[in-house]
Structure 1
Amino acid sequence: MTSPRVARVLIDSPLPQLDRLFDYAIPDAFVEAAQPGVRVKVPLRSAGRMIEGYIVEVGDPDASDRPLSELDSVVSPVPVLPPGLHTLARRAADRAAGSASDILRLAIPKRMVRAERAWLAAPPPVAPDVPADARSWATAVLASYPGLGDGIARGRRLVIDAPPSTTPLPDATTVGMWAVVLAAAAVQTLAAGRSAILVVPDHRDLGQVEAALAGRVPADAVIRDDSRQSSPVRYAAFLRTLSPAPCIVIGNRSAVYAPVHRLGLVAIWDDGDPLLAEPLSPGVHARDVALLRQELDGMALLFAGHTRTTDVERLVGVGWVREVAAARRASPKVVLSATREGESRGARVPSAAFAAARDALANGPVLVQVARPGYAPVLVCAECRHPARCPHCGGPLRAPRPGAVPECAWCGRTAPGWVCPDCGSNRLRMASAGSERTAEELGRAFPGTRVIVADGKHPITEVDGRPALVVATRGAEPVAAGGYRAVILLDADRMLLADDLRIGESCLRWWSNAAALAAAGAPVHLVGVAGPVARALATWTQPAYARAELADRTPLRMPPTVRVAALEGDARSVSSAVAALREAVPALDEDAVLGPLDREGAVRALVRFDFASGAKVTDTLRASVISQALKARRAKGRPAGPRNTLRVRVDLPDLDL
């Protein structure tokens, strides 16, 4: 009598102690269906219930006589977890001291039965045929970066500075030139019989890339992975990526996990955008996943942006990523606009910028970038100038519209009888102007001119070429047909005041992305700031700014020159984890651990460590998390026992205690 086959299952559970493979006997009824990669239900003895998981591999039982529980059922015959995706999830989780099941929850959409049945009933996709004219177009576009096409074909790690311009497409749609370059790289890869993944921050970028690809390759070869899609549509798109037929996947941060066959290229646009940083545990950035995947799959990896993050510049400095320069350097016409003699220092729009906007409005739209949405995002006491705070939660008060009762930006409550706790005054003053108030003021300054507001409440992706004032918050700027005839960057000084290690990088990215929307030769006025960030924008030398930032951070051991992990929990668990870390990793410096500090009842510590020690540090931290989880389980029901409060987050972008 032969022994039953054994399925090694990764359980879909957030409990860290369950982040390993469990052996289950395969009943005779499931021998055919229980294949690697399929979803199954298995009994979990410790919980006394059934739980879903994935079969990672099928093999023979080990030599021990221990009894094995049997698979309860095979949920679906579709192998949604290919071996490559499991390996990538395991590597990404280990790098972040997290669980592979948490990674897979981001990578594999929830099962939609109808979409799955339709997929199984449909004929399998065939390899797409890329027309000859599309191949020629892709070659011509990539030729603007000598060596880029060859580097992609050879599977290199590359970075480019995207062209700071827009371009019209055959259907008269205007997109950023960066989208055309990424689309050309994907078309070349698909023409070679390989798949490509293009990762962008949000739906606006997705729309531009999709428009750039339209008509170049068959429509069914472009797979959109968008968080705004319905669950059935997204699951159907995921199933398409499992097909052996190559395709182009365009999507947000989770698209970097797409299990396409014969992957030839992963391109990431604007990796400094916080939308590419995963907020859910274990919080692995799309950039880091792409680097891991390049090591595993050997495909080409391309970073592109109007600016260079210090993270990518560090990789360039150590030789891990190679910079490909454009054959012809292009840059916008940036003017550092300041108040002139005789003008009020408080003038929000200096005369030079005002005149540029007035002249440009005769020919087309003008972009005005502001820091915040709304009408008056910040209110202060009219007498003592102290910030106005909500009496209920302490949040900042704001004016939602002219003459309205102030409301809290945190809890949303109104404060009709507000009184300043410092001086007793009941009068408020608007300390800042949001997008709506700026639009109102500019509307009065330019009577008869269209004024368009683009922010979170008013999402606009494109505007026509007629004269208009487009007031947009950072990151919400629509693309203008033919490009903006002038760009005015307001509130730059306020943006730079944010308490953030990377605020210089962020401001340079916001301003550069807005400047890249200007028409050729159109003026870009940066109002009210000077210094290294302003000079980098004016001279369009963003990589040099990133190198200077790295040089400043290296002696201070600031990220990304080192990696940073945050430990948070009760005092006992954090102290225990720090002690275990020091014992396991003797190479840690004396000042590697910052804290622990008590933050509103929770204790937090930061650990700085070199990249060479990364694997040992994350393994030790993961062991501490599991140890605390097991202690909490044993102490269940005992009020005096320890609790599993230890949480670990690796690769923080800033030292924020």
Structure 2
Amino acid sequence: MLSVPHLDRDFDYLVSADQSDDAQPGVRVKVRFHGRLVDAFILERRSETDHDGKLGWLDRVVSSERVLTPEVRRLVDAVAARYAGTRPDVLRLAVPPRHATVEKQPVPDAPQATPSTVDPSAWGEYHGGAQFLDALAEGRAARAVWQALPGELWTDRLAEAAAVVVQSGRSVLAVVPDQRDVDALYAAAVRHVGEGVAVALSAGLGPSQRYRRWLSVLRGHARFVIGTRSAVFAPVADLGLVVVWDDGDDTLAEPRSPYPHARDVAMLRAHQLRCAALIAGYARTAEAQALVASRWAHDLVATRPTVRTRTPRVIALDDSGFTQERDAAAHTARLPTMALDAARAALRSGHPVLVQVPRRGYVPALACGKCRTIARCRHCTGPMSLPDRAAGAVCRWCGRIEPTLRCVRCGSDAVRAVVVGARRTAEELGRAFPGTTVVTSGGDAMVAEVPAAPSLVVATPGAEPAAVGGYGAALLLDGWALLGRQDLRASEDALRRWMAAAALVRRRGDGGVVAVVAESAIPTVQALIRWDPVGHAESELAARAEVGLPPASHMAAVDGPPAAVAALLEAARLPERSEVLGPVDLPPGARALPGTDRDAEVARMLVRVPRDTGLELASALRRATGVFSARHDQPPVRVQIDPLHIG
């Protein structure tokens, strides 16, 4: 496969008679291109060619296994067109590297599916839930966006929907953000459809095991396929339902070119195959709401009385006044007394308490204690942090240690924490609640589950362990750190993280309380208090439509040296209604461009078009990238369609 954009096209080769039986569409082959052997796939066999020159011969067939199915090939073409990418780049995401030993092993017999009988009562709590299951059983292309209730066993609900599809003789593909979700959903799948036909795909399996499972999917042995973002391309036979759980999670966006999002790839696949689709989660993204607004998908939500019954009580506490609290523990734990009282009540009842902290570490960011200027490294201007209680300040970029900090603006040597990390928070809570067990979960030290016993569980977002019987209370700290980010999705992401934590808390009738340390008047906080992710998503979509941001429009981000970016946009025949914006600063965490000096100037230009012109914009940028690739007269430029983080 040739990754350069100007060679992203089909090439004809001659096939010898002794290769003809194995050289079938979809197999891996080796061909000679400009004097060197390259990997390739056979796309189709023809008896004639439209090439005027002399054709070369196929070098060899690597394997007779047809790893590129027609359905996946159509999906690869659609993703490359949608994201202005090349087919070889998408194929690297769709087809895993070959493991010859696994491929040569005897093919086992196909296991028999043994799906359990599904009780629709749990789905019946959602308006339209029972009808959705009926549509799956009848093989109709039902599309829905499901808002799971707090305390819901979402893995069982998805496994029940899968069992209905498997009973009808078709297959299911489920895409989830991380390994924890894969393991949880796979355990539910084994209970509902049987171990033999449920397959979990993830990068952590290792090359041989992952390829073995992928082959079982290709050969039609797997009927319920579960995996992380790359599994969205899995060659599932007779696909009847595609599911995406928690589509707002950043890990579902591919960090490699052409940067597709698993949600959009799944929806493309559902559209191509005319199969059912389900986007699910506790919260809702503006993109999912746009599918509902366009009538491509239907709502699956519970009634308001059901929501009030199933949710915990949520209270918002402004942190501006806790320093004046009379309770000494309030000073120690950085919490208002009301939040501490909720935690104490839960602990007295014998239940664990969850404390969500936006960042892991000790003190991951420092500022001047007098003028609040962010403390930065004198050598590389990186942010300074306290990785440990006894250590000096350390630069998070270059690692240099600064034993004493002095503000460059006012000269003060006083420092304060911008955000207090999970380890420091655990220390403070341990002093505020002496004798109580404190558990931390985050980063490489994630805890899967905690027992139904009094304890304080300090976790970063996404690392919250489940509690047997549910948490008695949850304290969501430093809400401003999530809401105050300069990011298009800050409020949406904050609500998603809060709801994921609050969903682990016991319902209000059982004494469950969630205390969020943030100003109650903020719309995102109000959405949490009312447990109204749909209303929040509607507001987000309307706000973005008003200013012309995705998903109300399509937007391309073009990154690179300023001259190269300008030349590319000038060469691209952009659609008539295009609007060029910028240059703007690259968002935090943007990767350096390959082939570009680290210190080189990199600019970002944005191109905005109406939603119905997205494919036209992608096609124009794809053509221009190919032309520049052939000329070799400009440095590399990165093109991203609808990036998660615009700036």
Q: Give the TM-score normalised by structure 1.
A: 0.90
| SS state at 1:551 partner | helix
Q: Counterpart amino acid of 2:302?
A: A
Match of 2:124 among 129, 143, 147: 143
Shift of 1:128: 1.8
In 2, Cα distance between equivalents of 1:384 and 1:520? 43
Question: Which residue of 2 is the match for residue 349 of structure 1?
Answer: 335
Shift of 1:27: 1.5
In 2, Cα distance between equivalents of 1:343 and 1:647? 48
Q: 1:372 to 1:570 in 2, by over 3 A?
A: closer
Question: Which residue of 2 is the match for residue 558 of structure 1?
Answer: 549
Shift of 1:316: 0.8
| SS state at 1:476 partner | coil
Q: Is the Cα contact below 8 Å between 2:448 and 2:466 reproduced in 1?
A: yes
Shift of 1:423: 4.3
Shift of 1:315: 1.4
Structure 1 residues 184-333: aligned runs within 5 Å? 184-326=160-302, 328-329=306-307, 330-333=310-313
Question: Which residue of 2 is the match for residue 155 of structure 1?
Answer: 141
Stretch of structure 1 that moved more, 430-439 or 413-422: 413-422
Question: Which residue of 2 is the match for residue 653 of structure 1?
Answer: 644
**1:194-225, Cα deviation, whole Å (9 max, x unpaired):** 11011110111112212222332221211111
Shift of 1:529: 2.1
In 2, Cα distance between equivalents of 1:63 and 1:506? 52
**1:64-109, Cα deviation, whole Å (9 max, x unpaired):** 5521111111111111101110110010111000011111111211
In 1, Cα distance between equivalents of 2:470 and 2:447? 15
Q: 1:528 to 1:325 in 2, by over 3 A?
A: closer
Structure 1 residues 560-575: aligned runs within 5 Å? 560-575=551-566
| Count of residue pairs brought into register by the alignment | 614
Q: Is the Cα contact below 8 Å between 1:378 and 1:396 reproduced in 2?
A: yes
**1:568-609, Cα deviation, whole Å (9 max, x unpaired):** 23444323332344x452233xxx110246876223210011
Shift of 1:126: 3.8
Shift of 1:140: 4.0
Shift of 1:19: 1.2
Q: Counterpart amino acid of 1:562?
A: S
Q: Is the Cα contact below 8 Å between 1:536 and 1:545 reproduced in 2?
A: yes
In 1, Cα distance between equivalents of 2:21 and 2:601? 53
Question: Which residue of 1 is the match for residue 421 of structure 2?
Answer: 434
Shift of 1:14: 1.7
Q: Is the Cα contact below 8 Å between 1:36 and 1:58 reproduced in 2?
A: yes
| SS state at 1:439 partner | helix
In 2, Cα distance between equivalents of 1:40 and 1:63? 21
Question: Which residue of 1 is the match for residue 514 of structure 2?
Answer: 524
Structure 1 residues 95-134: aligned runs within 5 Å? 95-118=82-105, 121-130=106-115, 134=116
Q: Counterpart amino acid of 2:526?
A: R
Question: Which residue of 2 is the match for residue 639 of structure 1?
Answer: none
In 1, Cα distance between equivalents of 2:407 and 2:189? 57
Shift of 1:268: 0.6
Structure 1 residues 594-605: aligned runs within 5 Å? 594-596=581-583, 601-605=601-605
Question: Which residue of 1 is the match for residue 576 of structure 2?
Answer: 586
Q: Percent identity?
A: 39
| SS state at 1:325 partner | strand
In 2, Cα distance between equivalents of 1:353 and 1:576? 56
Question: Which residue of 2 is the match for residue 606 of structure 1?
Answer: 606
**1:268-318, Cα deviation, whole Å (9 max, x unpaired):** 111011111111100110111011101111111001111110011111111
**1:41-66, Cα deviation, whole Å (9 max, x unpaired):** 10112xx2100011111111225552
Q: Is the Cα contact below 8 Å between 1:580 and 1:620 reproduced in 2?
A: no
Question: Which residue of 2 is the match for residue 459 of structure 1?
Answer: 446
Question: Which residue of 2 is the match for residue 57 of structure 1?
Answer: 44
Shift of 1:124: 3.5
**1:589-638, Cα deviation, whole Å (9 max, x unpaired):** xxx11024687622321001112111211111001000000010xxxxxx
Q: 1:197 to 1:342 in 2, by over 3 A?
A: closer
Q: 1:609 to 1:441 in 2, by over 3 A?
A: same
Question: Which residue of 2 is the match for residue 576 of structure 1?
Answer: 567
Q: Counterpart amino acid of 1:208?
A: A
| SS state at 1:186 partner | helix
Q: Is the Cα contact below 8 Å between 1:194 and 1:246 reproduced in 2?
A: no
In 2, Cα distance between equivalents of 1:91 and 1:391? 48
Q: 1:65 to 1:373 in 2, by over 3 A?
A: closer
Match of 1:541 among 525, 532, 536: 532
In 2, Cα distance between equivalents of 1:309 and 1:465? 33
Q: Is the Cα contact below 8 Å between 1:197 and 1:267 reproduced in 2?
A: yes
Shift of 1:238: 0.8
**1:247-283, Cα deviation, whole Å (9 max, x unpaired):** 1111101111111111011111110111111111001
Question: Which residue of 2 is the match for residue 637 of structure 1?
Answer: none
Q: Is the Cα contact below 8 Å between 1:40 and 1:55 reproduced in 2?
A: yes
Q: Counterpart amino acid of 2:144?
A: L
In 2, Cα distance between equivalents of 1:417 and 1:493? 28
In 1, Cα distance between equivalents of 2:574 and 2:93? 31
In 2, Cα distance between equivalents of 1:273 and 1:450? 30
In 1, Cα distance between equivalents of 2:315 and 2:414? 39
Question: Which residue of 2 is the match for residue 618 of structure 1?
Answer: 618
Q: Is the Cα contact below 8 Å between 1:224 and 1:249 reproduced in 2?
A: yes
Instruction: Kindly indicate whether residue 495 of structure 2 is the aligned counterpart of residue 514 of structure 1.
Output: no
Q: 1:257 to 1:492 in 2, by over 3 A?
A: same
* Unaligned ranges ≥5, structure 2: 587-599
**1:306-339, Cα deviation, whole Å (9 max, x unpaired):** 1110011111111111112336433332122346
Q: Is the Cα contact below 8 Å between 1:340 and 1:350 reproduced in 2?
A: no
**1:510-546, Cα deviation, whole Å (9 max, x unpaired):** 1001000002221111123222111110111111111
Q: Is the Cα contact below 8 Å between 1:222 and 1:248 reproduced in 2?
A: yes
Q: 1:70 to 1:382 in 2, by over 3 A?
A: same
Q: Is the Cα contact below 8 Å between 2:419 and 2:481 reproduced in 1?
A: no
Structure 1 residues 79-90: aligned runs within 5 Å? 79-90=66-77
In 2, Cα distance between equivalents of 1:106 and 1:115? 20
In 1, Cα distance between equivalents of 2:374 and 2:427? 24
In 2, Cα distance between equivalents of 1:452 and 1:291? 39
Q: 1:110 to 1:27 in 2, by over 3 A?
A: same
In 1, Cα distance between equivalents of 2:322 and 2:65? 73
**1:356-383, Cα deviation, whole Å (9 max, x unpaired):** 1001012111000111111111223345
* Unaligned ranges ≥5, structure 1: 1-11, 167-176, 633-641
Instruction: Kindly indicate whether residue 31 of structure 2 is the aligned counterpart of residue 42 of structure 1.
Output: yes
Q: 1:161 to 1:383 in 2, by over 3 A?
A: closer
Instruction: Kindly indicate whether residue 357 of structure 2 is the aligned counterpart of residue 370 of structure 1.
Output: yes
| SS state at 2:204 partner | coil
Q: Is the Cα contact below 8 Å between 1:95 and 1:615 reproduced in 2?
A: yes
In 2, Cα distance between equivalents of 1:233 and 1:491? 42
In 1, Cα distance between equivalents of 2:98 and 2:354? 44
Q: Counterpart amino acid of 1:336?
A: A
Q: Counterpart amino acid of 1:27?
A: S
Shift of 1:243: 1.5
In 2, Cα distance between equivalents of 1:71 and 1:215? 48
- What is the CA RMSD across the aligned residues, in angstroms? 2.0
